[in-house]
Structure 1
Amino acid sequence: MLSEHFELIESLMTNFAIAALFLLIGLAIQDVLKKGDVPKIGRFFVWLVLFLGMAGFIAKGIIQFFVERSLG
């Protein structure tokens, strides 16, 4: 059972680990921004960059899913 679904489990755990890493990075950035008394425009750009990184990761996963599905 486990050996049959090992690749799927590995892929899911990798995605969950990266999502948790994004969450921890977001919490760390929020703490630094609050303690550093960063202006609103600076906070906006920091969160924009973090969001674009996360959106790129999600887009990569979606594109990879459709490419693998069409090839095999």
Structure 2
Amino acid sequence: MLYEYMDLIESIGLDLVFAAIFFFIGMAIKDVLKQGNVPPFGQKIVWLVLFLGCAGFIAKGIIQLSWEGTGI
């Protein structure tokens, strides 16, 4: 029975690993910005870039799910 759901388990596990990686990247960036005395405008740019990268990953997942649901 577990073998039947192996693809689903792998997919969920991979998504969780990517979420953890994004979290740790965010924590590292926060620490670097704090120790580097970066001005507020620079901090906003850095967080915007990080958010856009994360949003792109989420959009890719949603597009992939919709394509798989329609059989493409």
- Structure 2-normalised TM-score? 0.98
- The structure whose residues are more often helix, as a share, is 2
Deviation at 1:57, TM superposition (A): 0.3
Residue 53 of structure 2 is matched in structure 1 by: 53
Structure 2: gaps (5+ residues): none
**Within the alignment, does 1:67 sit opposite 2:67 as a pair?**
yes
Query: Where in structure 1 do 4 or more consecutive aligned residues deviate above 3 Å?
Result: none
**Displacement, 1:54?**
0.3
Quote the Cα distance in structure 2 between the aligned partners of 1:62 and 1:4. Answer: 23
Kindly tell me the number of residue pairs found equivalent between the two proteins: 72
| RMSD of Structure 2 on Structure 1 (CA) | 0.8
Matches for 1:1-72 after TM superposition, within 5 Å: 1-71=1-71
TM-score normalized by structure 1? 0.98
Structure 1, unaligned runs of 5 or more: none
Query: Per-residue deviation at 1:68?
Result: 0.5
